[in-house]
Structure 1
Amino acid sequence: MKIEDFPSLFQFLGAYFHEDWMCEFDSADDVVKSFIADSESCVLEKVVKEIDSLLAMKITENETRDFLLKKNGCCYCYWNEWQDGNSWLKHVSVLFSEASHNDV
């Protein structure tokens, strides 16, 4: 699993879930909504495809956590609100999918 295979996900997580995201937003969903507001539907669709690819790999929770936090620079401790990384990623994917379809 290489970061180069997930460039759009990397941009989303690293740029929006940076170390100071909690100073700018009240919740993780607010961060997601900000990315949606700032992005064209084609960008959202790319992130959804990359999330789908990541989920299809059926990696362990530890591998998911390592990939999201260490390799993507995501500073969101999703396990405080979600059962696991896959649950959170599916949630983000749904929000992005709904937004990109509403743009059409």
Structure 2
Amino acid sequence: MEHDKRPWGQYWVLEDSKSYKVKRVEVHPNHRLSYQYHHKRSEIWTIVQGVGQVTINGEVKEYGVGEVVKIPQGAKHRIANPKEDENCVFIEVQVGTYFGEDDIVRIQDDYSRE
């Protein structure tokens, strides 16, 4: 199982096929992913632990355990963990034609990545 640590947390690839990819993603307290979009995939996030503060095309909403977030292909998005004492964990299902990390177009990033 592929595992990758990032400045905001970590993720594991649970399944990788030609038409979809499934990840388990952990966001550490008071951290957030880059504000980004993708050319070749959409994403569906299901929160399984904690709270996720999700921004899609500039609109911010909090999601809790069991709630689902749908992110259309090309939509600008990010998730933040506003909690100080608990990870935000979600299952990410990517659907599309390409799932490489080089399809991440970062608009804003707390960790100065391109």
Give yes or no for TM over 0.5.
Answer: no
TM-score (norm 1): 0.30
Q: Would you tell me which structure has more helix in proportion to its own residues?
A: 1
Structure with higher RCO (Cα < 8 A, 6+ apart)? 1
